Amino acid sequence: MRFLRFTAISGIGLVVDIAAALFLHRVIGFPLWLSATLSFLVVGACNYLIFEFWLFRSETSAVSMRRLAGVLLSATFAGCARIATIVILESFVDVVMTANWLRDVLILLAGAGVSLTVNFIINSRVVFGRNMQELPPEEL
């Protein structure tokens, strides 16, 4: 059940994240890397609250400074991986494809995929690792 919830949170977050990044880049005029950074941070903060008060909810759910710090640190590492992926891909993709919506979406999806993988590994093994290990297999 938690895996389905995690998937739903991540899917909705990804759509909002990419839509916000495209809006900031195409409408506001921010560079793509900055747009991706800002949208990632906003969605990451919202995801933490959803994880804390819905996904990992218990009778004693409250803001945990340890988990908040862990999620933010994980998001920082994941964000760096995301931005590095976007910066690298922007320079290489320009050789093959001109700047357009499809190019930007593909680059953002690649960056999101890298950051999602990094974020999941850190959160599942460090931040919420003990909680995940104590659950029966059907809850994962």
pLDDT, tens digit, for every residue of 25-52? 999 999 999 999 899 888 888 888 888 8
Please tell me the total number of residues recorded for the chain in this structure. 140
pTM above 0.85, yes or no: no
Beta-carbon count within 10 A of 18 CB: 20
Q: Please give the share of the chain, as a percent, with pLDDT higher than 90.
A: 29
- How many H helices and E strands in the chain? 5, 0
Residue 25 lies in a domain: yes
**Which one of 9-23, 65-79, 111-125 scores highest in mean pLDDT?**
9-23
Residue 63 Rama label (left phi>0; alpha psi -120 to 50; beta) = beta
Residue 139 lies in a domain: no
User: Cα separation of 109 and 130, whole Å?
Assistant: 30
Residue 127 lies in a domain: yes
Q: What is the mean pLDDT of the chain?
A: 82
Residue 108 lies in a domain: yes
Write out the residue range of the structural domain in which residue 7 sits: 2-134
Residue 9 lies in a domain: yes
Residue 133 scores a pLDDT above 60: no
Q: What is the pLDDT of residues 72-95, one digit of tens each?
A: 788 789 889 999 999 999 888 766
Residue 140 lies in a domain: no
